[in-house]
């Protein structure tokens, strides 16, 4: 497992750490010598991870329960982190979910839920670390967005809207903190092999149609950890999908016409 020497002795906080990209990122940070704070609703899984990390890597690993959609709980959790860890060097806003459905079928509860976690929860967590990072003139905020935030497709209208919002927030935040020594990075992966699709696409058709094009969480986590504490604007994976997003920004009508068949594979 590749190491990032910049992380040795640093404190990394990861939301949605109990599985998928969050879990893989946590283990790679620990392998680089970072101390971990793991946040998720699944505290039992977090505690198992924290114990495994302490035993295997000899670093500090703290597991705390946090439901990102309960925005009123976030400040108290971050106060506890600061009390126990002293400071936060890297915040990875990884928690998020999606539901794939045609716009006419999306319920108000679906809309509220996705925005509560993917957007508002991310913003509230970020607000908790900004003052400390600014004061220390050091830190890195990494927001896990999606290629869906650059190129929306059918059946992902609300999910794409949340990720467009994350990118807009991230781009503004990056400029605000540029003079304070705090890095801000957006991570825009395409579809990954996680339990995300258990909820997003219960039929399994989308994952089946993606086949070998689906990303591994290990690969994405490796890229994320490699970039920690560097001034990296974005991480975009896979390259061919990001090229499509760039092309879409220039020639939207052409891409919508030529990609119509592929876009409806959900």
Q: How far is 82 from 131, CA to CA, in rounded Å?
A: 12
- Output the furthest CA–CA distance in the chain (Å, rounded): 54
Q: How far is 122 from 188, CA to CA, in rounded Å?
A: 15
Q: How far is 158 from 146, CA to CA, in rounded Å?
A: 13
Strand partners, 140: 90, 183
Q: What number of residues does the chain have?
A: 266
* Per-residue three-class SS string for 59-125: CCEEEEECCCCCHHHHHHHHHHHHHHHCCCCEEEECCCCCCCCCHHHCCHHHHHHHHHHHHHHHHHH
State the catalytic residue, choosing from 27, 57, 97, 159: 159
Specify whether 159 is catalytic. yes
Q: Please report, for residues 1, 147, 210, the alpha-carbon distance to residue 203 in angstroms, rounded to integers and kept in the order given.
A: 34, 22, 13
Three-state secondary-structure class, residue 40: strand
Q: How far is 102 from 51, CA to CA, in rounded Å?
A: 42
Q: How far is 54 from 254, CA to CA, in rounded Å?
A: 52
Q: Which of 233, 227, 156 is nearest to 191 (CA)?
A: 156
Which element (helix H / strand E) includes 15? Answer: strand 11-15
Active site residues: 159
């Amino acid at each position: 497992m590749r190491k990032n020497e910049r992380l040795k002795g640093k404190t990394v906080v990861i939301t949605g750490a109990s599985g998928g990209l969050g879990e893989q990122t946590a283990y790679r940070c620990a392998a680089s010598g970072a101390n971990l704070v793991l946040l998720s609703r699944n505290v039992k899984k977090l505690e198992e991870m924290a114990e495994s990390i302490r035993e295997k890597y000899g670093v500090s690993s703290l597991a705390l329960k946090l439901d990102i959609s309960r925005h009123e709980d976030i400040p108290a959790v971050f106060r506890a982190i600061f009390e126990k860890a002293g400071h936060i060097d890297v915040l990875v806003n990884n928690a998020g979910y999606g539901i794939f459905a045609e716009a006419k079928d999306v319920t108000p509860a679906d809309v509220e839920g996705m925005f509560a976690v993917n957007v508002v929860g991310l913003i509230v967590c970020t607000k908790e670390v900004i003052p400390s990072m600014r004061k220390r003139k050091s830190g890195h905020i990494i927001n896990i967005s999606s290629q869906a935030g650059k190129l929306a497709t059918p059946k992902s209208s609300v999910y794409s809207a949340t990720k467009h919002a994350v990118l807009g927030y991230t781009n503004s935040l990056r400029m605000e903190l540029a003079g304070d020594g705090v890095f801000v990075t957006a991570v825009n992966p395409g579809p990954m092999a996680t339990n995300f699709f258990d909820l997003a696409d219960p039929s399994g058709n989308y994952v089946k149609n993606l086949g070998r094009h689906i990303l591994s969480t290990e690969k994405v986590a490796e890229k994320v950890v490699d970039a920690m504490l560097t001034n990296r604007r974005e991480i975009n994976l896979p390259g061919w999908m990001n090229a499509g997003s760039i092309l879409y920004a220039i020639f939207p009508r052409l891409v919508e016409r030529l990609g119509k068949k592929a876009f409806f594979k959900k």
